[in-house]
Chain A
């Protein structure tokens, strides 16, 4: 009897969690199809807000910025994070604790602190050299810094999961160092790399705080645009855009999971 009560309340808690997690998303999706310009009453189905979205130059440019930022930063973070992950694996027998803490610090640091420091840093650089004015480039650099630890960790754990004699077998079978990278390491960790790319992509699309502090006047991303627009009130247009973003991020997250799992199964 007692056990049953516990089980029931746990089940109830589970549904409550799901409710607060996903119903808000459903509300946004639902109201993005609202015919009326209202966040309270659903009057009928319409795609007008999506049409309006496609006609809004500002939104389209924010979307383009978001995509450029996410793809460019993920690509750079993938390259650097992959090298760090391999380096961590190669030197795993040495004491690298302090180095790893250094790399992981950005993960635990509050975004706002990180964002403010990035901004202050870029302002100083810009003042002294005239380079790195606020814009897409500064945003890409800051995004790369917080994406790297995730990539490095994924790559590192994939290498750790491999039989270490595989590296020796590749050497033994006449592979030069470059051939080992090209024909053994890269193909072996490919699923992990794809997974890391999509994770970085999602993190970048998701980010508001750090982007906000490092953006320039021309480089507003979608989250920055939404934040600006929302001060004038929530419009169904924003709902439509949010729906598009939910869809995009969900696809990237699922792809990331899929490739990660595929990699583990090998």
Chain B
């Protein structure tokens, strides 16, 4: 169908490829493509707006994550990329082709579904070969590629099983292999890890990341879990109400959120409206703080892990006084809730072996001005 699906070098004997590395030629054979979304719109019925003009460029070979709460439009966006939904407006480009109107079975895009969607009437091997078979690839070539991918994802012993004999983690890996074996220009992943328990989930996160880096394939990943998004992604797009709120590398999105929604969604609670300002001095319910650069927003964000706690009241610049009301001891660190000024704040303190303040203690909160961010509500 596209050049990425026809192997220029299929003379490689199968016996030479029996090791955990994907065959050498796959990298050269594989073509990752840039995706460009221009003003994508999608409505369901009269008053449900799923996407409200989305512009986005996803670079080739990038691990790109669509992050947001349920109903934010991230799954709709993924389904439009897959061709399972048609946008009401806008264009979708893959490489230099406009694929807005191309049906899913003619797009070089494959999906790992949340429910895995493995065919119950087929064995693992037949499931893996399904996409190749539909494209009319010869049986010998099919078998070779299925064997390669099974080695690569380490599915060897499962290959002749029935799908109903597999565990959740095994199904997940087979769903991944079934999509990868087609060597699409873009791989879409719709919350592929959400049905797994925490341990298996973090193991598969690492595995997925490794696969993506080794193949250099463009991955578009959908999740509602900001931790997962930060671990996996080269870049994250945070969506809400069918609008992209912010796009950037995980550190940008986490440390410099552009608005209150992104800040809250990334897990920040220390948000304080600016009540008054005087040059670089900001008045909030916490007290007065001085910024190194003039503020440009009316909401102050203080990340809990940038704070330091000192025992007692020790005066100084950008220091606040408070009382510990809650302490959650986590081993490597402790999470505090403090009463400061007329409000509360959270502080995370690394456990370096020294004294940790206890509930009821009077403490000094040392605010590092470099890490203060102001944003727009």
Residues of chain A touching chain B, judged by Cβ–Cβ distance below 8 Å, are 162-163, 165-166, 168-176, 179, 183-184, 187-188, 190, 266
Nearest chain A CB to B92's CB is how many angstroms away?
A: 16
Are A171 and B104 CB-contacts (below 8 A) given A176-B134, A183-B133, A266-B164?
yes
Nearest chain B CB to A212's CB is how many angstroms away?
A: 42
Contacts between chains A and B (CB distance < 8 A), count: 71
Alpha-carbon distance A175/B127, docked complex (angstroms)? 13
**Structural contact, B105 and A171, CB atoms closer than 8 A:** yes
Alpha-carbon distance A176/B120, docked complex (angstroms)? 19
- Which residues of B (309-354) have their CB < 8 Å from a CB of A? none
**Structural contact, A169 and B113, CB atoms closer than 8 A:** yes
What are 22 A-B pairs with beta-carbon distances under 8 A?
A163-B115, A163-B117, A166-B117, A168-B82, A168-B84, A168-B113, A171-B103, A171-B105, A172-B82, A172-B83, A172-B104, A172-B105, A173-B105, A173-B134, A174-B105, A174-B135, A175-B105, A176-B105, A179-B134, A183-B133, A188-B120, A190-B121
**Structural contact, B134 and A175, CB atoms closer than 8 A:** yes
Instruction: List, in ascending order, chain A residues with CB within 8 A of B113's CB.
Output: 165, 168-169
Are A188 and B134 CB-contacts (below 8 A) given A172-B110, A174-B1?
no
Alpha-carbon distance A183/B110, docked complex (angstroms)? 18
Chain B residue at minimal CB-CB distance from A191: B121
Nearest chain B CB to A242's CB is how many angstroms away?
A: 39
**Structural contact, A168 and B117, CB atoms closer than 8 A:** yes
Which of A162, A173, A176, A266 is most buried by chain B, counting CB atoms within 10 A of its CB? A173
- Per the CB 8 Å criterion, the residue count for chain B at the interface is 29
Nearest chain A CB to B173's CB is how many angstroms away?
A: 16
Instruction: List, in ascending order, chain B residues with CB within 8 A of A174's CB.
Output: 1, 105-106, 131, 134-135, 182
Alpha-carbon distance A172/B83, docked complex (angstroms)? 8
Q: Which 5 A-B pairs have the closest CB atoms?
A: A173-B131, A169-B117, A165-B117, A174-B134, A171-B104
Instruction: List, in ascending order, chain A residues with CB within 8 A of B114's CB.
Output: 165
**Structural contact, A266 and B121, CB atoms closer than 8 A:** yes
20 extra interface residue pairs, beta carbon distance < 8 Å, beyond A165-B114, A172-B179, A266-B121: A165-B113, A165-B115, A166-B120, A168-B82, A168-B113, A170-B130, A171-B83, A171-B84, A172-B84, A172-B111, A173-B105, A173-B110, A173-B178, A174-B105, A175-B130, A175-B134, A176-B134, A187-B122, A188-B121, A266-B164
**Cβ proximity bits B104-145 to A, threshold 8 Å, 1 near / 0 not:** 111001110111011111100000001101110000000000
**Structural contact, A188 and B119, CB atoms closer than 8 A:** yes
Instruction: List, in ascending order, chain A residues with CB within 8 A of B119's CB.
Output: 166, 169-170, 184, 188
Alpha-carbon distance A175/B104, docked complex (angstroms)? 9
